[in-house]
């Protein structure tokens, strides 16, 4: 009898263990399903501005080869239905139209759906540096679009679960800050091109990093597991911006969206040195670039801030590691702000990016600036 009871107990234990393993597998599969971007259930709201009504306050950007449209085409190719896309471009993106269109747009997704919000253009702050705004086409003192209003509107009207927000503008990190402490039923992933208190360049470097990830370029897959997740996208965006633009990108994740959330699968393995950020010798000077292909000892590079038709194949002796110019922490320097030079002090250094505090100004004016906005203080 004792032997029989022992056998029954062993069989029962094995059965329970098998059930637990099965339940864990099912739960893991469910989590994988939850934590994977679904293009067909994604609603896209794109606002791309390269020109403004007030041309003196908001300088225009070149219209040629605009990368916002390239990113939008990548999302279409990934399977986002055309009838789930709203794209407001330049003069069509007035303050009233953006805000009313966004509210209407958010009523259409169903529970379980995703939204993808993207903005490229100018960002600006109020005189007290307390509030941050996105510049619609007719932006002025009365036509304002507060960064905080984007998640506020999403929380109010969106019935879905996940919101991806991507911003390529000055002070865009304010959006990442706005969702960090937000109590919401919506899960947010925010990727921003710049620190919440700092400028962003007029180049397309940040948007290009989004294109690489959603297109499934191999060099974004840092751990070579055949998948690209939001963490890999965020880290590569951060590294690209620090390397090429000497500015700090920001990102934040809330709820069920995390760095492990998968956005691209079936990613091919990267070839030798593909994805390296390097300096490349061309026409008598050195330029920052990223290696995008390698073949028979030569490397194809894309120059940061330049068009794709200028990509070139280079030999190893035309490529070198980049060493950023930096000023030591504590250095008393002069920092350029809107074409004027101010006395300042270096507080932190990351690559070629420097956190500075301006003499005579409060801490809220501290900002991360690139090395080309710094010079040694005159005696």
Q: Say how many CA atoms lie within 13 Å of 65 toward its Cβ.
A: 10
pTM: 0.90
pLDDT for 20: 47
Residue indicated by tokens 């920001």: 250
Average pLDDT of 164-181? 97
- Is residue 208 predicted with pLDDT exceeding 60? yes
- Choose among 112, 106, 110: nearest CA to 151: 106
E strand or H helix at 211: helix 205-215
Mutual orientation of helices 205-215 and 67-78 as an angle, nearest 10°?
A: 10
Q: Which two tokens stand for residue 130?
A: 């307390």
Average pLDDT of 82-109? 98
Phi, psi values for residue 113, rounded to 5°: -80, 165
Q: What is the distance between the alpha carbons of residues 106 and 159, in angstroms, rounded to a whole number? A: 8
User: What would you measure as the largest C-alpha separation in the chain, in angstroms?
Assistant: 97
State what percent of residues in the chain have pLDDT above 70.
Answer: 91
Span 244-297, pLDDT tens digits: 999 999 999 999 999 999 999 999 999 999 999 999 999 999 999 999 999 999
pLDDT band at 35 (very low <50, low <70, confident <90, very high): confident
pLDDT for 181: 83
Span 288-320, pLDDT tens digits: 999 999 999 999 999 999 999 999 999 999 999
Q: What is the distance between the alpha carbons of residues 51 and 137, in angstroms, rounded to a whole number? A: 7
């Amino acid at each position: 009898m004792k032997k029989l009871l022992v056998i029954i107990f062993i069989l029962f234990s094995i059965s329970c263990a098998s059930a637990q393993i099965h339940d864990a597998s099912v739960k893991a599969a469910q989590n994988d399903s939850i934590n994977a971007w679904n293009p067909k259930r994604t609603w896209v709201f794109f606002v791309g501005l390269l020109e403004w009504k007030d041309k003196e306050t908001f300088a225009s950007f070149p219209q040629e080869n605009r990368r916002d449209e390239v990113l939008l085409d990548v999302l279409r190719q990934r399977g986002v239905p055309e009838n789930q896309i709203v794209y407001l471009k330049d003069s069509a993106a007035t303050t009233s139209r953006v805000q009313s269109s966004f509210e209407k747009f958010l009523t259409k997704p169903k529970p379980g759906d995703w939204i993808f919000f993207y903005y490229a253009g100018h960002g600006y702050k109020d005189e007290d540096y307390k509030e941050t705004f996105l510049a619609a086409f007719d932006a002025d003192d009365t036509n304002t679009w507060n960064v905080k209003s984007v998640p506020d509107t999403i929380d109010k009207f969106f019935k879905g679960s996940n919101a991806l927000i991507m911003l390529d503008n000055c002070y865009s990190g304010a959006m990442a800050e706005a969702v960090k402490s937000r109590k919401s039923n919506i899960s947010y992933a925010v990727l921003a091109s710049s620190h919440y208190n700092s400028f962003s360049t007029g180049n397309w470097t940040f948007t290009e990093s989004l294109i690489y990830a959603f297109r499934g370029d191999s060099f974004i897959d840092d751990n070579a597991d055949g998948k690209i997740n939001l963490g890999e996208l965020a880290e590569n965006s951060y590294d690209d911006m620090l390397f090429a633009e000497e500015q700090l990108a920001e990102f934040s994740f809330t709820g069920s969206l995390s760095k492990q959330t998968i956005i691209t699968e079936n990613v091919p393995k990267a070839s030798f040195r593909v994805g390296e950020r390097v300096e490349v010798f061309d026409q008598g000077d050195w330029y920052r670039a990223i290696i995008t292909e390698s073949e028979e000892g030569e490397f194809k590079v894309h120059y940061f801030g330049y068009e794709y038709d200028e990509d070139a194949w280079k030999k190893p002796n035309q490529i070198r590691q980049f060493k950023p110019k930096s000023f030591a922490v504590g250095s008393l320097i002069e920092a350029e702000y809107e074409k004027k030079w101010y006395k300042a002090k270096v507080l932190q250094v990351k690559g070629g990016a420097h956190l500075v505090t301006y003499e005579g100004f409060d801490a809220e004016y501290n900002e991360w600036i690139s090395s080309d906005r710094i010079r040694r203080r005159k005696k």
